[in-house]
Amino acid sequence: MTSRKLALLSLLLLGCESEEHVVDYPEHGAHPIKVISIKEGIQAFSLDDDFVLGKLSDDQLVNVITIMDVAKTQGFDEFTLLAIAFRESSFKTGLVSKQGDVGIFQINARWWWKKLGYKNRAEFTKKNQDLATSAKNAIIIIKKFKRFKTCRGDRVFACYNGGPGWLLSKNIEKIKAYQKRVIRARYLIKRHMKRWKKEIKDEQSRSP
């Protein structure tokens, strides 16, 4: 049973009282896992990526359009950019992690504010809440990473998560798992794109 299934783990003891709550589980990126605590066991469910991508809200679709527009103007592969954005934030804006990862692409303020030419972390954090700005910076970062041998091809996703030295990281297995999930997200995004474009067109036609 894999994370691509609706049920990630099922361990249910009949006749036990349960308490339901939602928690964040870092291994699964931005997607929450629904956990049901039981007196003598745990039952947990994780949303399948394919299901999540098939149920985007209007706000998420608008964010997808913006990312695609930035990719087009920058001459960058839209599916690479969308796959990273989905894995980092599920196309949701306004996010700042405890580690200082900012915006829809979760760019780390401590590591990147100076390298990207900002006056300080506060300025970086504020300006990267803007989706177009964050997308442009994500492209700059990806292009910087692609200069390294360890970041060529699909390994650029591992670099986005763990830096050019990811092969020497103590978290290498988590980084490899992140890379695989982004590659899968890219595949699913390509599969959903035709329907998304139709939904976007329909929504635009209804707008005054």
Q: Is the pLDDT of residue 196 over 90?
A: no
- Cα-based angle 67, 68, 69 (whole degrees, multiple of 5): 90
pLDDT value of residue 207: 64
Residue 146 has pLDDT above 60, yes or no: yes
- What are 102's strand-pairing partners? 96, 107
User: Which region among 85-94, 143-152, 191-200 has the lowest average model confidence (pLDDT)?
Assistant: 191-200
Confidence band (pLDDT; 50, 70, 90) for 55? confident
HSE-up of residue 89 (Cα within 13 Å, Cβ side): 26
Which residues, listed in sequence order, are joined to residue 41 by a DSSP beta bridge? 38
pLDDT mean across residues, the chain: 79
pLDDT at position 86:
94
Q: CA-CA distances (angstroms) from residue 107 to 71, 129, 180?
A: 17, 10, 20
**Whether residue 185 has pLDDT greater than 60:** yes
Q: Beta strand 107-108 with 101-102: parallel, antiparallel or unpaired?
A: antiparallel
Q: Which domains does the chain have, with CATH numbers?
A: 1-47 (no CATH), 52-202 (1.10.530.10)
Residue 177 tokens, joined: 């798992």
- Decide: pTM greater than 0.85: no
The whole-number pLDDT of residue 112 equals 97
Residue 25 has pLDDT above 70, yes or no: no
* pLDDT attached to residue 2: 42
> Which of the two residues, 200 and 193, has the higher pLDDT score?
193
Please say if the pLDDT value at position 193 is more than 60: yes
What's the order of all strands across the beta sheet hosting 18-23? 18-23, 33-38, 41-46
The pLDDT tens digits of the residues spanning 83-112 come to 999 999 999 998 999 889 999 999 999 999
∠105-191-148 over CA atoms, to 5°? 45
